Amino acid sequence: MNMDRIIIKGGKKLTGEITISGAKNSVLPILFATLLTDEPTTITNVPSLIDVEIAISLLNFIGKKTIKYGNIVKTYISNKYKYTLPYELVQKMRASILAVGPLLARIRKIKISFPGGCAIGARPIDMHLKAFTSLGVKILNIDRNFIKIYAEKELLGTNINLRFPSVGTTENILLASVLAKGNTTINNAACEPEIVDLITVLNKMGARIIGAGTKKIHIVGVSKLRGFCHKIIPDRVEAATYILAAAITKGEIVIKETIPKHLRVINNKLRKSGLHIKEYENTIHVKWIKNLIPQNITTNVYPGFPTDIQAQWMVLMCLLNGNTRIEEKIFENRFLHVSALRRFGANILTKGNTVYIKGVKKFLGTSVSVSDLRAGAALILAGLAAEGETIISKIEHIYRGYDTIEKKLEKLNATIKKIR
């Protein structure tokens, strides 16, 4: 059992410079894309995350020799691919489902348990399965936990209409259809920057895909893909978390190695609240100047307000003078952090998929445990703002998505340490 904890002595303004790591939600599908070629690949700007370690372990198990050196991952000539994925790895990470698309494209079969990850809602894989059947595969329920997906002949391109612009489903269709016979069109596709990054890699490999960043993506199937070298885009969720950390602690931070246009909806909301934000080519300067004004938000798919920032945003709203409403439209169970924030002194009322917040003057340090990845980031932000000491347990969730968060915050003048 992991007994690591984070201890924070709050109340200090964050100041200084921070460099953003590569995007978790970009590197995972790109790692699984390496299954589509037998040629060597090199991926740079890879963050050091638990989910990256799990993905690399899965690739090695499948038969793709994969090694991480610092922030570089290299893959080499493949062995014969295994098609049965181990439950103990798959159940740790939702993104394990992204192994299905490339394996169907290469060996036409896979046996997998239902993937795990954060407990933030049902997150069914029915959209993935429906898309795969459109490409000509068959689904066999082996038991309550395992499914076998297989194709008796090569995958065939088709039109796929998504009822919701799911990021994972869009990625899996791309990974499966690039080697399919004929053309595939994804209607109502996800438009996130991480989708664009995956398509950039697939096109480097020799795929023929147009429409990246739009609701309609068109794929012309090819017979073979080659190796590639690619630098992962910066993590917009990590960048937004540190922007909010500056606002919450009334500090001043320069955020380097980021892409400001990926954060437009968040930065515009914060400017409206009164936070000073100046954007440069790959840098954002954040400075608290005056008391901020609360802002209501509703989460939505990109380019709307990201669900992955909802918990962190809630912390800021709890500490502002006035009332705020936050509506969650993506996941049905993403308010698990509310009870923990109440322990700090937050005044929050939950009704269905909406929370109503009445601002308080301050938080007091407390002991809390982490329920999921983004909730963990929110609790760290709350601890940074709180008077006194905060102890956070079950922190392994945090390191699924934040590269050495305690070390980065230390550089920004925070009193924070990770202990065992």
Q: Are 15 and 411 in contact (CB under 8 A)?
A: no
Q: Say whether both 188 and 288 belong to one domain.
A: no
For residue 70, give every residue at least 6 positions away whose Cβ sits within 8 Å of its Cβ, in sequence order, or none: none
Asked if residue 292 and residue 393 are part of one domain, the reply reads yes
Q: Per the structure block, which two tokens stand in for 64?
A: 């793709």
pTM over 0.75: yes
Kindly state the average pLDDT of the residues 72-99: 90
DSSP string, 205-249: TT-EEE-TTSSEEEEE--S-----EEEPPB-HHHHHHHHHHHHHT
Q: Are 316 and 223 in the same domain? A: no
Across the chain, mean pLDDT equals: 94
Domain span at residue 263 reads 5-21+234-419
Strand-by-strand arrangement of the 415-419 sheet? 367-369, 389-393, 5-9, 415-419
Q: Are residues 218 and 251 in the same domain?
A: no
Question: Which CATH number fits the domain that encloses residue 91?
Answer: 3.65.10.10
CB 318 within 8 A of CB 295: no
Of the residues 118, 191, 229, 318, which is catalytic? 118
The answer to whether the CB of 34 falls within 8 A of the CB of 66 is: yes
Instruction: Pick the last residue of a domain from 205, 231, 257.
Output: 231
Confidence band of 122 (pLDDT split at 50, 70, 90): very low
229: annotated active-site residue: no
Q: Are residues 251 and 227 in the same domain?
A: no
Omega of the bond prior to 303 within 30 degrees of 0, cis? Answer: yes
Instruction: Answer yes or no: do 119 and 17 share one domain.
Output: no
Q: Which residues pair with 217 in a beta bridge?
A: 186
**Quick one: average pLDDT of 246-270?**
98
249 and 382 assigned to the same domain: yes
Of the three residues 200, 231, 262, the one that is the final residue of a domain is 231
Q: Rounded CA gap, 161 and 283, in Å?
A: 37
Q: DSSP string spanning 257-271?
A: S--GGGGHHHHHHHH
Whole-number Å distance between alpha carbons of 394 and 386: 19
The pLDDT tens digits for 276-326 are 999 999 999 999 999 999 999 999 999 999 999 999 999 999 999 999 999
Q: Name the burial class of residue 64, with classes exposed (0-12), middle (13-18) and buried (19+) by CB atoms within 10 angstroms of its CB.
A: buried
251 and 226 co-located in one domain: no
Q: Which of 183, 200, 231 is the last residue of a domain?
A: 231
Domains identified in the chain, total number: 2
Distances (CA, A) of 107 to 36, 111, 129: 10, 12, 17
Burial class of residue 257, CB neighbours in 10 A (0-12, 13-18, 19+): middle
pLDDT tens-digit series, residues 304-314: 999 999 999 99
135 in the same domain as 29: yes
Interval 36-71: pLDDT, tens: 999 999 999 999 999 999 999 999 999 999 999 999
Structure confidence at residue 118 (pLDDT): 40
Domain co-membership, 334 together with 293 = yes
**Res. 376: pLDDT tops 70:** yes
Q: Are 234 and 193 in contact (CB under 8 A)?
A: no
pLDDT band at 120 (very low <50, low <70, confident <90, very high): very low
Tens digits of per-residue pLDDT, 331-371? 776 788 999 999 999 999 999 999 999 999 999 999 999 99
The reply to whether 116 and 245 lie within a common domain is no
Same domain, 348 and 247: yes
